[in-house]
A and B are shown apart, each in its own frame.
Chain A
Amino acid sequence: MKTKEQITLQEIESESIKISGAEAVIRCLLAEGVDLIYGYPGGAIMPVYDELYNFKDQLNHIMTRHEQGATHAAQGYARTSGKVGVAIATSGPGATNLVTGVADAQIDSTPMVCITGQVGSHLLGSDAFQETDIIGISTPVTKWNYQITKASEIPEIFAKAFYIARSGRPGPVLIDITKDAQFDTFNFTYQKCRGVRSYKPVPALDIHAVTKAAELINQAKKPFIVWGQGVILGGAEEEFKALVEKSGIPSAWTILGLSALPTSHPLNIGMVGMHGNYGPNLLTNECDLLIAVGMRFDDRVTGNLETYAKQAKIIHFEIDPAEINKNVKVDVPVLGDCKESLEAIIPLVQKKTYPKWLGRFDELMKVEIKEVMDKDLRPKKEGLTMGEVIVSINKHTQGDAILVTDVGQHQMVACRYTDFVRSRSNVTSGGLGTMGFALPAALGAKMGAPEREVVAVIGDGGLQMTIQELGTIFQTQSAVKIVVLNNEFLGMVRQWQQLFFEKRYASTEMVNPNFIAIAKGYYLEARKVYKRENLDSAVAEMIASEKPYFLEVCVEKEDNVFPMIPTGASVSEIRLK
């Protein structure tokens, strides 16, 4: 029999490990190594925010000005740091405002955990104030999602969420927590998730496939590598470089693969896809072996599938079995984590060079320089081009900045012409093409890599989709360098209207506000450039600044981005003008 005092003591002790669901949420985040989250408070998530107040020293919360901004910031953070980005919002509109960022993270394989508040469980299904079925809404755009209605579920579900978000092919996970589950108390213990029985993040490496792939590589006369973000997500940059150098194969990148191999590498022959380089696109239909590494044959890369690399054998290094034969039928799929599979294939590949074949890319590059790049980068006309702004940024950052881009002409120009010396330096919305991505993503990118220079290149259209995040940048004083390329048009849409819709410029011309006044209204250093002679000094001043800086460059209104593969056309039909 226990004495009365003993029983009371025991009760007190068990009380002391009893915590609320809201506190459990914070402790789970800390247990997963999270020290920074982005979000926006509101009714149904208030218990968690109240706990944030107690953990201010351990968990930094950045309040964006809109929930969409929180997701893009979390994405930017994830892309530069390699960690899981976290965004938090309230129920109803707070939750639905996350959806664009979640969809973006899903299609671009960005690890992210989103937490939403939900109305009390007794109100579920009653159309309560700010109730929305965010689980139903987010299902098609999440890797996994779950609604927590009991506080005791929190540790297990959070552990699972982080495990799923970061393992295998990464992606976004959304956890919806009812308000009562945030208030209720329970005995908290945390255990990291080590596996989920229905989920196999990385397929086992098939040595037979690796051997078969090596044979094809060794036999090829005109092999060609196209790499994607898988190389970066797999942390396989070294292995990839070793394969490229040993095999001597010319290699091109998809927009999300950019920066995995330095720009100056002699075997880095440029970008594939709609606005990619001339040679890599044309020679896709001339190579005898196409080696795809961590990429998914997106339609913007392949153009018309009926005429895509039909003459070539295809090897596909891929972590996600659902990507095999999805768009392009391949001869040898090599499933697995590319860090592992590339490492396995290097010793089997013969050391070779392809001077004649590489020369073909050089020849076509000369054509592209003459027909496109000279005009873009060394213009003789009066108006400024987007390309020469990028040249100036390259000069002042020595190609060692993180480039964050939005969506449209400026994105294509920036990705085509920016120099990179190291990986995880390109943050852009690739698959979803989300205008408004860049400004909040740049904030997150800077926080994910605070020691690095972050330059956000944004169009005047995209800027205005999330312009409110200037407030977050001002409040955090995060030293993001914002370059707005203002052509007073939704340039890419206008380009299509010019080329394919008989110049019928429906709703693409923008009557813009005074951006400098807006930036200054947020107390940001700001400068506007109209003339070539002022460009270089303005970029120098921006890069030298240790604070956030807003640079508006007024560029030619009706410039087009070339080369271009029109939608539905073959990669062979790439146009130079």
Chain B
Amino acid sequence: MDKTFTISIYSENNVGLLNRISAIFLKRHINIESLTTSQSEIKDVFRFIIIVKGPEESVKKLIQQIEKQVDVIRAFYHTDEETIFQESALYKVKSSALFEERHIQNIIKESHANIVTVSPEYFVIEKTGFRNETDRLYHDLAPFGLLQFVRSGRISVTKSKMGISEIIKKFKSDN
């Protein structure tokens, strides 16, 4: 049965690793729903968050192939229930809407979105939350004319411990 899984990869920050990882998905015709990369809690260690939909069996095999890569320290997969996750979205709206339509101010207030910037031509709202929350705001703002909209990939942390520092510490003591 297809389910959403969050793949977390801890890796070296090497040029070309993204290519190597995406090739693993490409080869197996598995679509990446979203991909986010950033530094991790450990200095010099990089973290990938990749969201995929599929049967658990094939995600397991993906993890095995990802972990096999020389520059990957560890890879994990988790279900939504095992992670705390959020997405961020930016909405660019005509400034006139803000002043002419009082209703829009209520929408912003109720959605707990933040106004990032306001200029005479446009203003930008930021909303971080679950997909349904950023979606709702999208639909609420759409009638006023969205100049631009963009949503980030999912970022997430796991409820359980990852233990990467231990792996690195063990390597240091072994070598």
Contact = CB atoms under 8 A, between A and B. Distances in A.
Interface of A: 135-136, 139-140, 143-147, 164, 194-199, 320-322, 324-326
Contact of A198 (B11, B20, B27, B174): B11
B73 interface: yes
Contacts of A144: 70-71
Given A139-B20, A143-B70, A197-B172, 20 more contacts: A136-B16, A140-B20, A140-B23, A145-B16, A146-B14, A194-B175, A195-B171, A195-B175, A197-B12, A197-B168, A198-B11, A198-B12, A198-B72, A198-B73, A321-B68, A322-B64, A322-B65, A322-B68, A324-B64, A325-B61
B15 interface: yes
Contacts of B71: 144, 198-199
Interface string B9-31: 00110111001100100010000
Contacts of B167: 197
B67 interface: yes
Nearest to B11: A198
A135 B15 CA distance: 10
Contacts of B60: 325
Contacts of A135: 16, 19
Given A197-B168, A198-B12, A321 B67 contact: yes
A326 B62 CA distance: 10
A336 to B, nearest CB: 16
25 contacts: A135-B16, A135-B19, A139-B16, A139-B23, A140-B20, A143-B70, A144-B70, A144-B71, A146-B14, A146-B16, A147-B16, A195-B171, A196-B70, A197-B73, A197-B168, A197-B172, A198-B11, A198-B12, A198-B72, A198-B73, A199-B71, A321-B68, A322-B64, A322-B68, A326-B61
A195 B70 contact: no
Nearest to A326: B61
Contacts of B61: 322, 325-326
A199 B70 contact: yes
A199 B171 CA distance: 10
A125 to B, nearest CB: 13
Contacts of A145: 16
B64 A321 contact: yes
Contacts of B65: 322
Nearest to B27: A140
Interchain residue pairs A-B with the least CB separation, the first 8: A322-B64, A197-B171, A198-B73, A322-B68, A195-B175, A144-B70, A140-B23, A199-B70
A326 B19 CA distance: 22
Contacts of A320: 68
A136 B15 CA distance: 11
Interface of B: 11-12, 14-16, 19-20, 23, 27, 60-61, 64-65, 67-68, 70-73, 167-168, 171-172, 174-175
A322 B64 CA distance: 5
Contacts of B12: 197-198
A198 B13 CA distance: 11
Contacts of B171: 195, 197
A198 B64 contact: no
Nearest to A327: B61
A341 to B, nearest CB: 19
Contacts of A322: 61, 64-65, 67-68
B64 A326 contact: yes
A199 B70 CA distance: 5
A139 B18 CA distance: 10
Nearest to A135: B16
Contacts of A194: 175
B76 to A, nearest CB: 14
A202 to B, nearest CB: 12
Contacts of A140: 20, 23, 27
Nearest to B175: A195
B70 A164 contact: yes
Nearest to B174: A195
Contacts of B11: 198
A64 to B, nearest CB: 28
Contacts of A324: 64
A195 B27 CA distance: 29
A390 B49 CA distance: 55
B8 to A, nearest CB: 15
A146 B70 CA distance: 12
Nearest to A329: B57
Contacts of B172: 197
A107 to B, nearest CB: 13
Most central of B20, B27, B168 by chain A CB within 10 Å: B20
Contact of B19 (A139, A143, A146, A321): A139
Contacts of A147: 15-16
Most central of B12, B70, B174 by chain A CB within 10 Å: B70
B27 to A, nearest CB: 7
Contacts of A196: 70
Contacts of B68: 320-322
Contacts of A199: 70-71
A4 B12 CA distance: 46
Most central of A147, A197, A321, A322 by chain B CB within 10 Å: A197
A197 B61 CA distance: 22
A560 B168 CA distance: 56
A100 B123 CA distance: 55
Most central of B65, B68, B168 by chain A CB within 10 Å: B68
A143 B65 CA distance: 12
A197 B27 CA distance: 27
A285 B59 CA distance: 29
B60 to A, nearest CB: 8
Most central of A196, A322, A324, A325 by chain B CB within 10 Å: A322
A458 to B, nearest CB: 31
Nearest to A141: B23
Contacts of B73: 197-198
Nearest to A171: B70
A320 B16 CA distance: 23
A515 to B, nearest CB: 39
Most central of A196, A198, A320, A325 by chain B CB within 10 Å: A198
A121 to B, nearest CB: 13
Nearest to B73: A198
Nearest to B61: A326
A263 B23 CA distance: 40
A103 to B, nearest CB: 13
Nearest to A197: B171
A139 B64 CA distance: 17
